[in-house]
Structure 1
């Protein structure tokens, strides 16, 4: 499904990743246009992305691409042009909500999920689809045709393999680690923990200053809420990559100095501070923006808490 592939691409890091404003659009729709099918006016999308420093032309270009990739559908809202997430994406987004906003590590005693696959050489393209898809869900590699992850990833893996007509090449096993080797040493072989921890450290370094800043003044003024929106969208966009690199590895199987827990708590603390203010700003623009850029009409009253994921 092209739409899901586009969303998955928004989690990639490095040169293969999407432009920041493109990823921000996906974050805004994931937060404020749910369930899928709820439309946002184009003018509101452009306004919110301008708050994040994006040029209107770039925003419109990304919206066009997302429509072509079947992520967004054209809608009318109060007589204006608008877009909504494709309704077919809601289940995928719901699973993503769990990963992104309710991250929790598995326990060492929990079963592991093993995915064994064998693909004829004449269909080696399917082999690449299996391997790359599992990798993007956070699976580690045991051997060329065997991948591993905590057992709770099963439903997500099954959905991906079904949607891409790959189940015929795959066998699933739930198992406990029973070998003589220490589990911590095996996990270090199956995953690139150094790179993963570097990503966690980068997140901590980038967003720790916000905790001190917003812990002191979290005011629901128009300017304060706009600033909170900017910080929140950027933080969520950076964070949502990490739960797909780390599928919830057991703490007992990780180094004692592991940074994942600190990064997770930082994200959750900042979310508690920023989400209400950011949501107030987003909903004010979404439900009251004008083409002239004047004061919003029918915006939520100050003091109202807008629920966001």
Structure 2
């Protein structure tokens, strides 16, 4: 091996090793714990992280699987190790995405009249149903709300929720909901680092009126199974909770990063109200 080739191999090993160590720390695993999970010797892992050893392509993918690393970031580790990317990022309306798109449309359609939406990993809106437009009508005309909160940029659900001209004024339990959402965003960022999501979080936290801590529990206080969002406008009150779904076996970056949030009425009155609203989106 020439000196240049040796230097290149060292740089590749160092780059991969740094990323591997970073993800192991993100998952809060020691080298020993990762060794037991992956069935790779701790000594070999140490060599990989220090750059003294270079992994095979199969080893990179195996460790990524053991660390549950998002597909986008698996590509980064493959490239750092000197290999071609394995996972593609396609537009949602691309030909090969038809089954995925059809499944999303089915979920949104069948969830009406209750709100449902599809977002990417940065909470940019990709798809939604009539139920979401009906929900937004609590705060104003949907298209106007999006323009006020997001301008001509991507329709970001978090900006819509936190903006003073968005949903925030009609969320009655804002002091409880806001810190809960921020806590969830921080957990998502830790699990799958994203520059876009990090920027959104920094932007939201610039508003110092947003409560910074989770509400304190009173002794003996009973918690509901889920945290409801309570909206109040024009004398009408609506209580909702949501569920977030993902695809179980994604093989594409776009599919891996899709999130479907479906809202459900938390009481009979909220269900009746949602079934009676119908506005243009």
Please give the range of the TM-score, normalised by the shorter of the 2 chains.
Answer: under 0.3
TM-score (norm 2): 0.24
Asked which structure has the greater CA Rg, the reply is: 2
TM-score (norm 1): 0.23
> Quick one: higher RCO (CA 8 Å, sep 6+), 1 or 2?
1
Higher helix share: 1
